[in-house]
Amino acid sequence: MRHIDRTAGFQIDHPSTWVEYRPSDPRVQYLVGPDDRDFVQVRVISPLPASFGPGDLQAMKKVSDALLSGQPINIVQEVQTTVGGLPGYQYVYTFKDPGSGQTGAHIHVFLFQATRLITLVFQALPESQLKPLAKSYDAVLASFRVLPVVPAPASPTPTAHR
């Protein structure tokens, strides 16, 4: 299945058996997964206070590191990546889920497009689910594409009647 969000400027594919969820966080543009413990979340943060180009990898790393710093996580891997033509960084880390007490895993991808930061989070809970989900998660990430952003239509202005 293909999801297209022209307002946020991206498209992404996911298996047809997955469920699209309504994110409780209004800053999350898309949430989909095989169940409510294992999912993919897409968030677009814009505008950033600075513009990032392909040569700004060190600055991108600093921003990515700063967003993860102070979190109760254990980073297992971090690598520079390019997804859908956008440069960025990918982190794999474990975390303790406060609701279940289980250890989960995230693959957290930070992609930079000028003054936009696009984050994709792939969650497995418990952590042992990551391996069975890896092939699906890899396919979803490989399908990610940026699109031209189409501004949301403005709310109609009420007109005064006399």
Q: Are 2 and 18 in contact (CB under 8 A)?
A: no
Q: Are 108 and 93 in contact (CB under 8 A)?
A: yes
- pLDDT at residue 10 in the model: 97
Kindly report the number of other CB atoms within 10 A of residue 110's CB atom.
Answer: 25
What pTM does this model have?
A: 0.91
- pLDDT at residue 154 in the model: 63
The β-bridge partners of 124 are 105
Per-block mean pLDDT, blocks of 10 residues, the chain (162 long): 96 97 94 96 95 95 96 97 97 96 98 97 98 97 95 60 46
- pLDDT at residue 156 in the model: 58
- pLDDT at residue 99 in the model: 92
Rounded CA gap, 74 and 92, in Å?
9
- pLDDT at residue 162 in the model: 45
- pLDDT at residue 155 in the model: 58
